[in-house]
Chain A
Amino acid sequence: EPEVTQTPSHQVTQMGQEVILRCVPISNHLYFYWYRQILGQKVEFLVSFYNNEISEKSEIFDDQFSVERPDGSNFTLKIRSTKLEDSAMYFCASSEGLAGGLDTQYFGPGTRLTVL
């Protein structure tokens, strides 16, 4: 069964450093998403991406964040200058793109980001 994959599984970085989190969505999916989950808190939407552009973003997704689909398979989340409060589990998800993005999202296993 196709699945969303994410690398690395755990990333440790120093405050102020740039990090790139990588995701490979399910191959025939058209919508891609990033969510984060701070330890002990709810899963929060960051951004959705369709047709090579951002279609929706939350207030969390400020200028420090960016997303890119550099090729036909990868989907990346970049944090330019990490802060302590960026420490969280980051989930990538994808969906087929039916119903304007309202369809089922399939989640990857997550990347745990630790900012020191």
Chain B
Amino acid sequence: AQSVTQPDIHITVSEGASLELRCNYSYGATPYLFWYVQSPGQGLQLLLKYFSGDTLVQGIKGFEAEFKRSQSSFNLRKPSVHWSDAAEYFCAVGGSWGKFQFGAGTQVVVTP
């Protein structure tokens, strides 16, 4: 069965600094991977996805993620964070019949 691990529950980063959120997955075949962001009181917004092809994918809001099959990872990065990036970030792997498996999430706090 597929699973997703986000090792960091909470990350604090200064505005303007770089950000990297870790995601490790377990899946028997080529995974379909997603990053979603959830702002307080809001739903889940898709940041980016990986299905196949180029292992470095670009998303919205200046985010990118790199798929590394050898490390079973799909880490999310942003070169320079903005205060509006404070939110909770979820990594997810797609499963049969749309049964997404989500990680526990990483809460990002941005300090001035």
Contact = CB atoms under 8 A, between A and B. Distances in A.
Interface of A: 4, 31, 33, 35, 41-45, 48, 50, 55-56, 58, 91, 93, 95, 99-110
B32 interface: yes
Given A42-B103, A43-B90, A99-B32, A55 B97 contact: yes
Interface centre among B44, B46, B97, B101, by most chain A C-beta atoms within 10 angstroms, is B97
A95 B36 contact: no
B32 to A, nearest CB: 5
Contacts of A99: 32, 51
Nearest to A33: B98
Contacts of A95: 98
A31 B43 contact: no
Given A99-B32, A102-B32, A104-B34, A43 B44 contact: yes
The 8 closest A-B pairs by CB, nearest first: A101-B98, A56-B97, A107-B44, A109-B43, A55-B97, A43-B102, A48-B98, A102-B94
Interface in B79-109: 90, 92, 94-105
A109 B13 CA distance: 27
User: Size band of the B side of the interface?
Assistant: 20 to 34
A112 to B, nearest CB: 9
Nearest to A44: B102
Interface of B: 32, 34, 36, 42-46, 49, 51, 90, 92, 94-105
Given A42-B104, A42-B105, A107-B36, A102 B44 contact: no
Nearest to A58: B99
Contact of B96 (A4, A91, A100): A100
Contacts of B49: 104
13 contacts: A33-B100, A35-B100, A35-B102, A45-B99, A56-B95, A56-B96, A91-B43, A99-B32, A101-B96, A104-B34, A107-B43, A109-B42, A110-B43
